[in-house]
Amino acid sequence: MKNHSIVMLRRNLKHIARNPMSVFNAVLMPIVVMLMFVYMLGDAFSVGVDYVDYATPGLLLLAVCYGLGSVSLAVNSDKTKGIINRFKVMDVPPNAVLTGHVIASVLTNLIAVGAVIGVAFLLGFNPAASFPQWLAVIGIVLLLSLATSWITVALGLVAKTPETAGLVTVPLIMLPFFSSAIVPADKMGPGIKQFAEYQPFTSIIEALRGLLNGVPAAGDVIPALAWLVGILVVGYFWASSTFTKQA
């Protein structure tokens, strides 16, 4: 008997290969947003530094979030079509089924993040990060991708219909706009400003920004890591327990 996780992962990778549109969407949308904000509107924002340098960290996060919509749909389709029940009756462990989706999601995310970084350089992105700081950036992006993928898998399982599954990730796509991704939080109106300052994405973006500028601040990196690990743990246990409970 082959390892269940590997069989499942191979299935999810085949899905990506057979349905390149989902990857294309995940890559295209963040790049469109990037061109819109940096190339078209960038000169209108005064943030104290070159706008592409300011915006890129937030756009990395956006690149991760845009890829998640297709993940919740794929998980939900497995559930509603009875494919998950089929696997359950075959005694395939929950982790094997769900990890396949998560790893495929992380790979899609990494492609999108790579593309966004590439376009950022074309637009004049000039980071000051050292090699270890780049590694830390990659580590945080990976952790972010893992954590949000697990949450998305859970949301895909909880959603009753594919239509809801398509909508559940919208907040994840909207959250970066209500963070310091596009403009600094202190330039926002009252209410939104406080929300933006304290929501998890802002600390993650600030951590990435500090690392890419070569001046990481522990005050940003530590809360960012705490948020990410917290989201990962909640997502993982939520997804696993939902998988086990549902029939």
Partner 1 sequence: MTGSAITASGLRKAYHDKVVLDGIDLDVPAGTIFALLGPNGAGKTTTVNVLTTLTKADAGTVRVAGYDVASDAKAVRKAIGVTGQFAAVDELLTGRENLQLMVDLSAIKDGQRIIADLLERFELTESADQQASTYSGGMRRKLDLAMTLVGSPRIIFLDEPTTGLDPRSRRTMWTIIRDLVADGVTILLTTQYLEEADHLAHRVAVLDGGKIVAEGTPDELKRRIPGTHVRFRFGTAADLATAERILDGATADENELVLRVPSDGRTKSVRGLLDRLDEYALDAEEFSVHTPDLDDVFLALTGHTTEAAKK
Please report, as ranges, the residues that interact with partner 1 according to CB under 8 A: 1-2, 4, 7, 11, 14-15, 18-19, 80-83, 85-92, 247
Minimum distance of partner 1 from residue 8's CB (angstroms): 8
The DSSP call for residue 82 is T
Q: Which residues of 188-221 are buried (b: 16+ CB within 10 A; e: fewer)?
A: beeeeeeebbebbbbbbbbbbbbbbbeebeeebb
Minimum distance of partner 1 from residue 160's CB (angstroms): 14
Which token pair is 175? Answer: 């959250």
153 within 8 A of 97, measured Cβ to Cβ: no
Neighbours of 186 (CB within 10 A): 9
Minimum distance of partner 1 from residue 241's CB (angstroms): 14
User: Rounded CA gap, 53 and 158, in Å?
Assistant: 38
Looking at the Cβ atoms of 22 and 152, the one nearer to partner 1 is 22
Minimum distance of partner 1 from residue 2's CB (angstroms): 5
Looking at the Cβ atoms of 81 and 187, the one nearer to partner 1 is 81
Looking at the Cβ atoms of 158 and 183, the one nearer to partner 1 is 158
Looking at the Cβ atoms of 11 and 193, the one nearer to partner 1 is 11
User: Rounded CA gap, 102 and 36, in Å?
Assistant: 30
